[in-house]
Structure 1
């Protein structure tokens, strides 16, 4: 019978024994565990954290942004970002995800050259700390790969120094046919090194070389990085591309058991060092696989709700909530200690893999064609049988809402706000892309300059031009910012919108999408209903079974509901939040 684990050292040793069970190591598991504990400045007999604790509330909303999404002359972009946060969103958004702010060589930051420093073109660690003092700071841990221009990879090529044994290699004649890829580039990169010709594994691009976590020194190196980020004020860790971490030739090399155990081990270290710190895993994979990263409330605190963006977009472009409702009904409630991270736009495009098995091939094809008609671009991947499949739709969310599958119409703004009203009310923590808050449209200039499809939704706003746009009543930007801010101001004051509050899907037909939220103390109920069509629709309040002894208010308009037998007329894409408090 296995002895109960009652100390951090024992727990880490057990986790290490599982991760490296098939690998001969020079160090014992206990020695490695003690090294990790020392790096994190902990004690070996540290008490293990309680896993079912929520470190969040309805007041948590995360803004997703690059460090230089807003720029001004002669000012470090991170300082400009801090000013933007303070002046524009601080009343409604308390957290900020600054996308990789380190020196990099490609992929807008996700090919990291140096994990320990801030990109000089953005600012300094002091600027990062200044933001972390006023906002919950979320940072990427780009843990699967680094830049081919990093010192570590230079040492790999030389065959000596730190990093010389950090990278995963394979042979071209190995069976790699089952490997799951998000890109169409060759998996292996041929490199001449001081130890001869090597073939380096590159999941994403040949500038992004994959680490070999079979070497525990890689794990130790990333523990040092995590400790530094905690010291700099990072409280939320986004584990980038974590699903691809552990590789075994002859397998899909995605979501392997060792990967899950490494996430659990890093959680053990992080929450022991900072009890309120949070891990969110970024796994752009089919929905059922994504859910496994919750573990038993001992793995990721949060997972990206990757199926939401394509399903919600499909709902609003087709005028039918069939697939969105079916998916929502199938989603398990997040147990205490875990939460969904909801988003509908980000620095990446709208991924289609998480919609596989949820939308039919015909539905996916129609969605892709519609987005192309709205000026979007499509990124492709190679499937198991060698077929080219749409992997991601690249478009600004505002432009993605220009119309329906029938073409463009006059409801762009209303449809866009409706999408956010739905997302803000769902179980989980909402993440809002800065370009959604600002109603930014497709950036064709940047796309033409970089020739990378994702650039279409990564505009850099000149601060002066942005200020002018937000003051111009003839432009939509001011209206978008005001509308989304108003919705968030309501959201953060409703206990029923706690990320772990109860949620049930309502059955109101295919053109009215609705769900019910109830606060954890059961005192507040909110019925969240959206007209997802381009026609006015009547909502019979009798279908909601509102308790007659309660007083009901529509939170968005502030209107009191006095007659529970009446019908509410919902204009195209209008949302109502009907609450008893």
Structure 2
């Protein structure tokens, strides 16, 4: 298969931008040869609609003795949420050496402890798949890195080395571990770049052979059914001494190239960038509608948490009003919780420092932990809050109370109402409490939110009179209801409404303008009244309660989806 002139010119332009004087036509030929190995899929299907709902899970978040974890996961999902969820994000399911999957040993194999490619394919029968391209680094136990140490074979030039005398003080990174790690190679001691940990060695994208390798891996995932590709830690990809090594122009250009290639092979594939950084930097990955199709709303989880802790929506409202208008080719990936902690950096410029400090302190009172990052000046500051979102909402700034379930459901309804595609972490769906026993075992703070449920125990909890059952069944109903509303299409118009600081209110208007839904959410433990403006006075039917409202007031933490139909 020869590439069309259009895609060839596009890729040539990208490669020239990234590699400048090191570019040669041979590079384009090699890239074209890799792309040509994969069949193109032609269709005109929309990338997303109001029925898209994502579940984020590890391959072994639910286990049963004697069963293959991916098969146990499939059984649970098919039985419980087949009608609610449309996309399953299986967090890295490859052989790994640390970081619960994000230190990949082999990018092309399934971890045999989870199952095999047939098990992944089986999940794809009822759900679209989302997969990680862990693009910034590889495991120190990988064949690539072993070849680097031997200085022979594939991988010998795949890793970044740096002189430890080099001034790297400007480099921005989310960890407090050493940036450079010494290792013994056949050519003597080398210092490799390790942004995240000594076991996660940064890949050298200034070597075009590596980029071509990653394109092949990406297309391999797409050929095996991946519909959404999550570019993990993409912001750190390109390194240039004397800079922050964050969001460099070459990084953005590589994202554009990966999108070009993915869309050429399958036009419905979605590129999602994972950039846990301040809001403005995060939004930059939309590019000029030519980069990521989707970006995480990293500011939403901590801002929503703050709003529910203080009963004050002012900062959440201000952020929501500032969000850019979307076109049909871009949208947001909305979530409140994931396998990582709740990011603190995405609050920069959105929440005053004293409010941030109080939020961090409150989370620690509720059993949460804090991970820190190193700053330019040698100090450390909070990078993320490690706590399950359910336990993060067991109280407010005034202490614990009896509204945990109601407050948590409010958080999920608000998240589902925002423009974009909603995503639920498995431990939000199951309202999992803090897993402190796990932290004691692993000595890693993030384990607090990475419990592995026993299948039978989880079934029993969800079938008994428990907070978990109440949350799970409520979310099942709410998701089913949401999927039927055209006004919740990811690109349906959004308007933030002013109803005072105790409430959060926004309107969603369907693309065909035939349906309007107004979310009104009470963020406090007191009853609150509200008034609808003239524009929305016909929105009087509450979809959640399935009845016309008789009075415009909300019980503590009550939400309404007020519709015209």
TM-score by length of 2: 0.97
What's the counterpart of residue 540 of structure 2? 552
Give the Cα–Cα distance (whole angstroms) in 2 for the partners of residues 90 and 490 of structure 1: 14
1-side partners of 2:37 and 2:98: how far apart?
Answer: 30
Q: CA separation in 2, counterparts of 1:394 and 1:329?
A: 28
Residue number among 41, 49, 65 corresponding to 1:57 in the alignment? 49
Q: Name which of structure 1's ranges 166-175 and 178-187 shifts more when overlaid on structure 2.
A: 166-175
Aligned to 1:272: 264
Distance in 1 of aligned mates of 2:121 and 2:389:
31
Residue number in structure 1 paired with 2:474: 483
CA shift digits 1:482-536 (9 cap, x unpaired)? 1111111111010000000000111000001100110001110011010001111
Residue 411 of structure 1 and its aligned partner are, at CA, apart by: 0.7
Over residues 12-43 of structure 1, what are the superposed CA-to-partner deviations in whole Å (9 max), with x where a residue is unaligned?
A: 11110011014x3576343244234334456x
Alignment counterpart, residue 295 of structure 2, candidates 299, 303, 310: 303
| CA separation of 1:492 and 1:544: change in aligned 2, threshold 3 A | farther
1:580 aligns with 2:558: no
CA 1:424 to 1:544, structure 2 compared with 1: closer, same or farther past 3 Å? Answer: farther
* 1:106 paired to 2:105: no
Residue 561 of structure 2 corresponds to residue 571 of structure 1: no
**Unaligned stretches of 5+ in structure 2?**
none
Cα deviations across residues 430-488 of structure 1 (Å, max 9, x unaligned)?
01011111111011111110000000010001011011101111x11110101111111
Deviation (angstroms), 1:226: 1.4
Summarize deviations over 1:230-262 as a string: whole Å, max 9, x none: 222111100000000000011000100101111
Helix, strand or coil at the partner of 2:357: helix
2: distance between equivalents of 1:33 and 1:478? 51
Partner of 2:428: 436
Q: How does 1:131-530 map to 2 (within 5 A)?
A: 131-473=123-465, 475-530=466-521
Q: 1:551 to 1:537 in 2, by over 3 A?
A: closer
Q: Does 1:20 align with 2:12?
A: no
Contact 1:310-1:355 within 8 A present in 2 as well: yes
Contact 2:528 2:556 in 1 (8 A): yes
Render the CA deviation track for 1:301-340: whole Å, top value 9, x for unaligned: 1000000000000000011001000000011122210010
Separation in structure 2 between the aligned mates of residue 559 and residue 147 of structure 1, nearest angstrom: 55
Task: Check whether the contact 2:541–2:547 (CA below 8 A) recurs between aligned residues.
Answer: yes
Give the root-mean-square deviation of aligned CA atoms. 1.7
Residues 342-395 of structure 1 deviation map (CA, whole Å, 9 limit, x = unaligned): 000010000000111111110110000000000000001111222210000000
> Counterparts of 2:154 and 2:536 in 1: how far apart (Å)?
65
| Offset, 1:544 | 5.7
Secondary structure of the structure 2 residue equivalent to 1:134: coil
SS at 2:125's partner residue?
Answer: helix
> 1:6 offset after TM fit, Å?
4.8
Structure 1 runs of 4+ aligned residues shifted over 4 Å read none
Q: Which runs of 5+ in 1 are unaligned?
A: none
Change in Cα spacing, 1:544 to 1:90, as seen in structure 2 (3 Å) is: farther
The answer to whether the 8 A contact 2:499-2:531 is kept is no
**C-alpha distance 403-27 of structure 1, shift in aligned 2 (>3 A):** same
CA contact (8 A) 1:40 1:224 kept: no
- Asked if structure 2 preserves the Cα contact closer than 8 Å seen for 1:39 and 1:223, the reply is no
Could you tell me whether the CA contact under 8 Å between 2:516 and 2:539 is conserved in 1? Answer: no
Q: What is the rounded CA distance, in whole Å, between the counterparts of 2:202 and 2:228 in structure 1?
A: 23
Question: How much has 1:227 moved relative to structure 2?
Answer: 2.1
Query: Contact 1:97–1:139 (CA<8 Å) still a contact in 2?
Result: yes
SS in 1 for 2:60: coil
Tell me, in whole angstroms, the C-alpha distance in 1 between the residues paired with 2:290 and 2:252. 10
* Separation of aligned partners in 1, 2:230 and 2:178: 27
Shift of 1:539: 1.8
